[in-house]
Amino acid sequence: MKARRIKNTMRTMGTMRTMLWCTVMAATILVAASPAALARGGLEGVKIFIDPGHGGPEPGAIGPSGLRESDVNLRVATALRNCLVEYGGATVMMSRTGDVDVSLAGRTAAANQWGADRFISVHHNASYNQSYNATETYAYTYAGATALDLRDKVHASMVSGLGLPDGGVHTANFYVLRTAWMPAILTEASYISNPYQEARLKDMGYTWREGYYIYLGIANHFGVAP
């Protein structure tokens, strides 16, 4: 019984730390950047599947100083999860919560079996032109109106909040978009190959803000007004 009480206490403290972290970071954003106010509630009962791209032996793109896309994807996805749960009241599942290898088929299979309402795959792009940087967002080539609306609203929120050049919204035949049974999008919020952007992506506050703006776009998609 004593061990159980200790575990419960630790779990409660962990939840409180997460809520405090989200609140402090959101307050920092509101003071420094004056974005839209926080959306509160409204996503209760909505099941969001978040897929941090790459992981394990597959690092994805590598920044000029060695920053791994897979690590950045996970940090942004974790921030997004925390915001969806704490601010929106959504139910969230992630394809990975650590630096592990998950097959593309395994990612969408988990989302499909869980019965997710939306699928969000978090990525960061790269280019041989290191001066290039932009925000881009994708839906499946033959996506329906719901997925296109999700893509457009998340993209607009990221462009407005992060202030990077608008690389546009696109459609593509990416595996995770093609095989997800629910409306699905893939974000490429910035280019890790850009040295200045890579430095930004090393900052925990910046990656939290990215997750926060993705969250605001999702909330807007569901009609949850900030």
* Active centre residues (catalytic): 188
Inter-residue long-range contacts of 204-209, CB under 8 Å, 24+ positions, other chains counted: 204/75, 205/25, 205/28, 207/72, 207/75, 207/76, 207/79, 208/25, 208/75, 208/79, 209/25, 209/29, 209/33, 209/161, 209/162
Report the alpha-carbon distance of residue 156 to residue 134 in Å, rounded: 13
CA distances from 43 to 37, 115, 126, 157 (A): 16, 16, 33, 17
